Amino acid sequence: MYFLKRILTLLPLTLLITLLAFVLVRVSPGGPFDKERAPASPEIEKQLRAKYHLDESWPRQYLRFLGGAVRGDLGPSLKYRNHNVTDILLQGLPVSALLGTLAFGFAMGLGIPWGVFMAVRRGEGGDHTAGFLALLAVCVPGFVIGPLLVMVLAIKLDWFPVALWASPWHAVLPTMALGLFYAGKISRLLRESMSGVLHLEFVTAARARGVGNPALLMKHALRVAILPVVSYSGPMLADLLTGSFVIENLFQIPGIGVFLVNSLQNRDYPMTAGLVMVFAVLLLTLNLLVDLLYVKLDRRVKLE
pLDDT at residue 152 in the model: 93
Query: Following DSSP, what letter does each residue of 186-252 receive, concatenated?
Result: HHHHHHHHHHHHTTSHHHHHHHHTT--HHHIIIIIIHHHHTHHHHHHHHHHHHHHHT--HHHHHHTT
Residue 284 in any domain: the answer is yes
Q: Buried (b) or exposed (e) across 148-187, using 16+ Cβ within 10 A?
A: ebbeebbeeeeebbeeebeeeebbbbbbbbbbbbbbbbbb
Residue 287 in any domain: the answer is yes
Q: How many structural domains are present in the chain? A: 1
pLDDT at residue 36 in the model: 59
pLDDT at residue 182 in the model: 93
Residues 159-211 pLDDT 10s: 999 888 889 999 999 999 999 999 999 999 998 888 887 776 666 666 666 55
pLDDT at residue 124 in the model: 83
Q: What are the distances in angstroms from CA 178 to CA 68, 94, 171?
A: 34, 16, 11
Residue 131 in any domain: the answer is yes
The domain of 117 spans 85-297
Whole-angstrom Cα distance, residue 6 to residue 10?
7
pLDDT at residue 208 in the model: 62
The answer for residues whose C-beta is within 8 angstroms of residue 229's C-beta and 6 or more apart is: 108, 111, 112, 115, 186, 189, 190, 193
Residue 189 in any domain: the answer is yes
Residue ranges in the chain modelled with pLDDT below 70: 1-3, 34-41, 200-220, 242-243, 294-304
Residue 1 in any domain: the answer is no
For residue 126, how many other CB atoms are within 10 A of its CB?
13
Of 187, 73, 60, 77, which Cα lies nearest the Cα of 135?
Answer: 187
pLDDT at residue 91 in the model: 87
The H or E element containing residue 303 is: none
pLDDT at residue 246 in the model: 82
CATH number at residue 230: 1.10.3720.10
pLDDT at residue 102 in the model: 94
Residue 31 in any domain: the answer is no
pLDDT at residue 134 in the model: 92
Residue 91 in any domain: the answer is yes
Question: What does the mean pLDDT of the chain come to?
Answer: 82
Residue 148 in any domain: the answer is yes
